[in-house]
Structure 1
């Protein structure tokens, strides 16, 4: 006959298949253990993660509150902090053991880790932790074993006599199923983070929601921002490769950060150019507001560059100069490419016009130029630059300029 832990095992496997959020799984897991007679007061999960900025994810459940709290520990802290390894998680991460027990009523046991002193002060009496490795081996940190690529799961009780042996055996039995839930959550999280990093938040969500086939796409109305670094060919010939890449990245930091802060989506870094959109949604992203946001992001990018150039001048580095073109129109937003190499982007005449508009910043000697169509929808007035013929467009295009502040 199935016991509590068999039932929890079955439930965990179904939760993994359903890809339910880890926080809800942990909350229900703790509640089911308590309701089933296992006196768990606290559950803590620590897991390493292959991520550019996050080193560890820590999830904690407290029986007193029923709340689940999640904390992301930056890679830099994991790499440089000695304290983080003076923990049960740090001990398990060395790969020499996959379980750790402590009687928190024993002063000698409590003295093993500062964490034990904190738990004992809160009335905890016994601590049990288990670790499991799963997935591919990643050499993440010097002080973590190459074989450690999974998670640790700890349970703490306030029961005076601690956990029974049956409790400990049962908790260890459900560990594999729980780790499957963890792995599913990690892979979903990392996939989302990677897609957001490489495609952007809006485009990454589109792909995760199933827009993955070549030709999948839709027409959307948006403000379009196109920016290009000035003098990049000369810079590439006069700077060494490291200094040149640092310069290009400094420019991207100015432009892309400003776009992101104003609700835009950077679709592509094209050599030393940036293509971004500000999609319209009349309920949440009205046309006038998004045009204003696109203009504000461009002005913020120039402000960031001015600030960066003061430091670059003192370091003997070339100043950042670039142009920005703004337009508004309908774009084809979706997957293009071949069957085996796809790109999620925006394309169409409106994108080409934004690019041509940026090209006019050199001819007109003004760094921020928009089309008349953009100006019609933007609540901030620009200065009329007249009609201009742009390559690839039969009819003259009205252009306006905007101040950098």
Structure 2
């Protein structure tokens, strides 16, 4: 068969490429090298992800580049157009022909489509069908990898997921991370949960976490832990310096507070109470490690910096301030702040200089 090198790639080497985008690029290039008049290709796969329903990769032979399109509605009878992104894109290139091959059921399989600069002969169409058949195995491997990564990130976060995927499955000290730390906690949550239907409590928690985590991610931070109704997030120092990390944390605080203000107004319109909260910011080093029992592990953050930021947040109610900042954090930002003096934090020997936003 003319496409023996392409099929050899699919059987022997395809699973070794880094990801689905690289797979589509390599496959398209081999088809062109083997004599097929392919000008572009598209590959759509269902995605096991809490938000994304499917992913489509689009490749052009003239540039060799691959771009990705995300779909947020599941494919199926109720949404027949959801699987046509790749086909429509190929048709928009003015290609002479577009051929689509379904690899497995569209709900858990893939659709691969090719565009050519002329009409394909019967033998060429048969070769493309054979390519689709051989592509099923490597695509199943990529789908499994993607599913595993998505599940781990959804439940563990990016930093912990990367560690697990790298094979860190034993108790060990972990890594020292320098970062701006943010700890946020709802006020009166115990009373709220005692007086409110459990479904409404979960709805309120989800809304709270959406605002906090959304603001953190928007400014380059990462949520490390949901702790009851609390959130621990970091803005790592590395690619950016400590001052930039602290400024990003402050911007996320402003965004989170605006989101919570909007949420409280929406809750008030429904006759529901507001969701008061406290937020604390600190900068320092923490140990991010794998702890637990021999067969039940958890990545967690420990160290003096974590203690300071959590205890500082506990001071919000005492001082009547929604946001408190440590002296170490205040030293890294040029934003005007209001000094509140030194305070003793529970369980911490040295007093802490405390600041709040100058509002």
Q: What TM-score do you get using the length of structure 1 for normalisation? A: 0.79
Partner of 2:121: 163
**Quick one: which of 20, 26, 41 aligns to 1:22?**
20
Partner of 1:150: 109
Counterpart check, 1:208 vs 2:165: yes
1: CA distance, partners of 2:115 / 2:328: 63
2: CA distance, partners of 1:400 / 1:120: 57
Partner of 2:303: 348
Measured against aligned partners, the alpha-carbon deviations of 1:315-336 in whole angstroms (never above 9, x if no partner) come to: 1122121001122221101222
The equivalences for 1:96-111 within 5 A come to none
Tell me the matched-pair count.
359
Partner of 1:226: 183
Structure 2: gaps spanning 5 or more residues = none
Query: How far did 1:121 drift?
Result: 9.8
Counterpart check, 1:271 vs 2:228: yes
User: 1:15·1:181 contact (CA, 8 Å) conserved in 2?
Assistant: no
SS in structure 1 of the partner of residue 314 of structure 2:
helix
Query: How far did 1:80 drift?
Result: 5.0
Counterpart check, 1:244 vs 2:198: no
2: CA distance, partners of 1:319 / 1:77: 38
The equivalences for 1:64-213 within 5 A come to 66-75=64-73, 80-84=78-82, 119=91, 122=94, 124-125=96-97, 127-133=98-104, 148-160=107-119, 162-165=120-123, 167-213=124-170
User: 2:71·2:82 contact (CA, 8 Å) conserved in 1?
Assistant: no
User: 1:55·1:73 contact (CA, 8 Å) conserved in 2?
Assistant: yes
1: CA distance, partners of 2:92 / 2:283: 62
User: 1:22·1:181 contact (CA, 8 Å) conserved in 2?
Assistant: no
1: CA distance, partners of 2:25 / 2:99: 19
Q: 1:241 to 1:188 in 2, by over 3 A?
A: same
Measured against aligned partners, the alpha-carbon deviations of 1:355-377 in whole angstroms (never above 9, x if no partner) come to: 11000111111111122222222
Structure 1: gaps spanning 5 or more residues = 90-113, 135-143
User: 1:228·1:322 contact (CA, 8 Å) conserved in 2?
Assistant: yes
Q: 1:64 to 1:320 in 2, by over 3 A?
A: same
SS in structure 2 of the partner of residue 174 of structure 1:
helix
2: CA distance, partners of 1:72 / 1:295: 30
User: 1:287·1:377 contact (CA, 8 Å) conserved in 2?
Assistant: yes
Larger Rg: 1
Query: How far did 1:290 drift?
Result: 1.0
User: 1:15·1:25 contact (CA, 8 Å) conserved in 2?
Assistant: no
Partner of 1:314: 269
Q: CA RMSD in A?
A: 2.9
1: CA distance, partners of 2:72 / 2:20: 20
**Quick one: which of 297, 318, 339 aligns to 2:294?**
339
Q: 1:299 to 1:4 in 2, by over 3 A?
A: same
SS in structure 2 of the partner of residue 385 of structure 1:
strand
User: 2:100·2:111 contact (CA, 8 Å) conserved in 1?
Assistant: yes
User: 2:48·2:150 contact (CA, 8 Å) conserved in 1?
Assistant: no
1: CA distance, partners of 2:240 / 2:9: 41
Measured against aligned partners, the alpha-carbon deviations of 1:184-229 in whole angstroms (never above 9, x if no partner) come to: 3223333333333333334433443444432151112211111110
Q: 1:19 to 1:343 in 2, by over 3 A?
A: farther
SS in structure 2 of the partner of residue 377 of structure 1:
coil
**Quick one: which of 50, 53, 67 aligns to 1:52?**
50
Query: How far did 1:36 drift?
Result: 1.8
